[in-house]
Amino acid sequence: MEVYIDILFLENIVMNYMILWVTARFSKAGTSSLRLFLGALVGAVYVVVLILFPGIKVYYTTMAKVILSALMVAISFSIENFRRYFKILAIFYVSTFIFAGAAFSFLYLNKTGGFVKNGVFYVYWQSSKWTFMIFSILTVVIIGRIFWEEIQSRLIKDKLIVRLKVAFENKIADMSALIDTGNSLHDPLTNMPVVIVEFLALKDILPFEIQSIFENSKENDLSSVTDIVSKSNWFSRFRLIPFNSLGKENGMLIGFKPDYIELEENEEKKGVENVIIGIYNRSLSKNAKYRALLSPELIS
């Protein structure tokens, strides 16, 4: 059997990238396309080394593969702490198992030849490798979407939705908020937790000059934002908050210090003053069940 190293290398980059991308979607970890590519590249190089140097037995050990996956995750994502790192690593393994299951299912249904040797999976050349890859990717995307929607639905059913009131200059905005375990955002100046809220949910309590930023979609124009905020009477209450999200590093949210926020859960109310509101100019929920994301530390 002939093995084409260039094709094998390219296939592994594509598959590794998709696995890391799915991991990013589920973990909500900060990353970028470049970092995902570099992580995928490391995994592909490892496979090529296995093929070119079959005599180096240490590369075939379970420990070597665990180290490889740990390295891929470390390269691909912004890691805040060890707990967060191991959570992302666990999601990476689950994503890998889903891809592997989809691949073997396709082989079974399509009666395509293939085998595993030294931890490397081969598909016979006469079968269409690219059809195999595309089918596997589509299967994982569909399965992942179904599972993600089910997980989100269960989270909401488990009463992770609370009532949130934001008070600013004698005005109050009232909305539903989701307790989001992935929201660990803090204001770098004060270290206060940041509550992410949709602009439209806050619009009526914001100063007109701040409203204009979002109505004209200028929230990503740093020079315009800085100019408008610096001239506002509420300059001392507003600030810029850096954040990382999937596909976007070094992003910036416009935030402000409210008079206070009030959280209501199971008819119990809790007031919080040391908090920052981050304004988001898009919808946070497709079904509009919540319009804000809360850090769990605000509830405890």
| Non-local CB neighbours of 197 within 8 Å, separated by 6+ positions | 164, 166, 173, 175, 177, 277, 278, 279, 280, 291, 292, 293
Catalytically active residues are 180
pLDDT for 72 = 93
Structure tokens at 77: 């994502």
Reported confidence tier of residue 131, pLDDT bands at 50, 70, 90:
low
Q: Is the pLDDT of residue 218 over 90?
A: no
Exposure letters 56-77 (e unless 16+ CB within 10 A, then b): eeebeeeeeeeebbeebbebbb
What's the CATH architecture for 161-298?
Answer: Beta Barrel (2.40)
Q: In the prediction, which pLDDT does 247 show?
A: 47
Q: How far apart are the first and last CA of the chain?
A: 60
Strands 238-245 and 260-265 turn out to be unpaired
- Residue 297, Cβ density class (10 Å: 0-12 exposed, 13-18 middle, ≥19 buried): exposed
Can you give the pTM of this predicted structure? 0.50
Q: How confident is the model at residue 77 (pLDDT cuts 50, 70, 90)?
A: very high
Dihedral (Cα; 221, 224, 225, 230), 10-degree rounding: 160
> Could you tell me how far CA 33 lies from the centroid of its own chain?
12
